[in-house]
Each structure stands twice: as C-alpha cells, then as structure tokens.
Structure 1
Amino acid sequence: MHRRRNCFRLCERDVSTLRLTRNTNLKIINGFCTKPQESPKPPSYSYNHRVPLHKPTDWERKILIWSGRFKKEEEIPETISFEMLDAAKNKIRVKISYLMIALTVAGCIFMVIEGKKAVRRNESLTSMNLEKKARLREEAAMKAKAE
C-alpha cells in the first residue's frame, strides 16, 4: 500500500512538470490539453484532377481485347488509365478461374468414369502391381539363366 502511494506521488509530480513544459498555446482544462481552434486555410496550390495515363504494351492490348473492353486493336487509344487496365486484368483473372474450375470438375468426372471402367474389367492397382512384379521376376530369372 505504501509503495502504491509513492508511485502515485511520483506520477503526479511528473504530470505537473509536463504541464509546465507544454506549449503556451495549449489550454489546460480540467487536466486535459486541447489545441486552440484554427480556421481551415484554403490550399495555396491548385490540384489538377487528371488521371495518370499509361501506354499499353502489346500484351496489355491483348488483355484489353480478351476482356471485352475493346473489339479490335485499332479501337484501343494510345494511352489508357491504370484503372481501365486493372479492370481488364481482373476480368481476365475471373475468366481464367472459371475455366480452371470447369477443367477441374471435368477432370474429376473423367477420373470417376475411368475408375468405374477399370472396376468392370476387374483391374485394380494391387492386381496391376502384382502382375508387374511377377513379370520383373520372370525377366530376372531369364537373365540369370542366360548368364
């Protein structure tokens, strides 16, 4: 308990020294510091709201056509905005992911069909491995006899 009081007194002393060292334009109200209100100043410079343009490469031109943004390469302007290029790239990403999903589903269906065909022919990985091992043993025995 005695230690807590000493700690509190030390903190209280530090806070009072902080108040004395603060800027004079800060007001101390009920122990809280607030800055004086300043009127907002209009910017001294004028900002031009032009979007930075980019000259597309041949690959980016193909992306713009594939995404459906332009029909022909002649329709693409000399400079385009980065936002237009990003939107075209995102469309292509989405189309590629849909294609990958479709190919994955088609591959799964194909493998299920092939597995069912193998079951009908009584083929399994175990039987195929046993046949392969028997064949390799026969070949090894034939080589041993030949020597």
Structure 2
Amino acid sequence: MPAQALFTSFLPLQLKTMASLRNGLNCGRLIRPHLQPKSITTFASSQSKLKDVTESAEGDNSREKPEPSAQDTSQKMVRAQYIDKKSLVWDKRYKSVEDVPEMLPYQTIVQARNRFRIRANLVMIGLTVMAALAMVYTGKERARAGDTVEKRTLERHRQLRAQKAEEDRVAQAAATSADK
C-alpha cells in the first residue's frame, strides 16, 4: 500500500478523533464533564416551567428578599480563631481581643485575613529592600577598604595549598620512618 493511500485512509479517522476531543469525548469516555449538558429538557417541560414563572410573577407584586441559601458564603457564620481575632484587632475593627465575638460572618474573617496577608507581605518587601541596601552599603565600604572577593579567594587558596603541603610533608615523613 503506498504512503499516499495510508495517509488518506488515516485522515478521516484522525479528523473524527479530533472532533470527538473538541466535543469532550475520547473514545466514548467523557473527559470533560463540565462541558457536557447536565440534563436534556424537552419543549413541553420548558413550556411548563415558563408558565409557572409567569404565573408567580403576575400573582405576586410584593418584592421580598430571597432567603439566603446554604451556599451563600456572606451569611455563613464561623468560629473565629485566635489569630483571626488578633488580625481583626490589628485591622482596628475591635478594640481588643476580648471584644471580638466568638462567631463572625465568614466574609469578615476572609477580609481580615487578606488585609493581614497584604500587610505581612508589605513588611517583608520593606525588610528585603532594607537588607539589599545594607548589603550595597557594606559592599562599598569593603571595596573602599581594599577588601575584594578576589583577594579573599586568593588568600583562601594560599592557605589551602599550605595546608596540603603540610599534610604531604607529614605523610612523607611517616612513610620514610615506616620504611626504616
């Protein structure tokens, strides 16, 4: 079979596979379930839902607030930990740790944690800049004094060579005394 015939027979299969990947299917298995439809609604069921919605809208003109759902995180109350209480005091929402209630809205704690995180990051940035400036200053002072990295390296190598020569001399003396 020539190469051209192999390519043309393989091409439709490849295109079909690529199309199934685009649709979220791979050889009959679902690989991206969030892209697939959750349920199939028929025209009759969608019409009945639409009818229910229009009837409730026509009969009820009062605007009531919907009840918060269990998924609504702004209404969820959580127990504040000690660090959360401290961050609320540092954020100046309360005067002291004792004033902070035991249960707080989730959103309040999240905001306090975020502000604390931002402030901690800003402090770390400031300390890093100060440390960098200190290193520049000490480096310039050492350069003025004539102390450079090159001189330190050469001195260290001189010491290592001297140490190695001393070790060789001791090893050679031990070898000659063992031969006698």
TM-score bracket, shorter-length normalisation: 0.5 to 0.7
In structure 1, which of residues 79, 86, 89 is the aligned counterpart of residue 103 of structure 2?
A: 79
Task: Give, in whole Å, the separation in 2 of the partners of 1:113 and 1:40.
Answer: 78
1:88 partnered with 2:107: no
In structure 2, which of residues 159, 164, 174 is the aligned counterpart of residue 140 of structure 1?
A: 164
Change (3 A) 1:64 1:24: closer
Task: Give, in whole Å, the separation in 2 of the partners of 1:124 and 1:86.
Answer: 50
Q: How many residues align?
A: 116
Change (3 A) 1:140 1:24: closer
- The 5-angstrom pairing of residues 106-145 of structure 1 reads 106-145=130-169
Higher RCO (CA < 8 A, seq sep 6+):
1
Q: What percent of counterpart residues are identical?
A: 23
- The TM-score normalised by the length of structure 2 is 0.55
Q: Deviations over 1:67-112 (max 9, x none)?
A: 2222211111121001110111111112112101211110111011
Instruction: Write out the 4+ residue segments of structure 1 that deviate beyond 4 Å after TM superposition.
Output: 22-26
- The 5-angstrom pairing of residues 1-147 of structure 1 reads 23=43, 38=51, 39=54, 41-42=56-57, 47-49=66-68, 51-147=75-171
Task: Give, in whole Å, the separation in 2 of the partners of 1:52 and 1:107.
Answer: 43
Cα RMSD of the aligned pairs, angstroms, is 2.9
Q: Deviations over 1:125-146 (max 9, x none)?
A: 1111111011000011112222
Which amino acid counterpart does residue 82 of structure 1 have in structure 2?
A: Y
Query: Any gaps of 5 or more consecutive residues in structure 2?
Result: 1-41, 58-64, 69-73, 172-180
Task: Give, in whole Å, the separation in 2 of the partners of 1:123 and 1:41.
Answer: 86
Query: Any gaps of 5 or more consecutive residues in structure 1?
Result: 1-21, 27-36
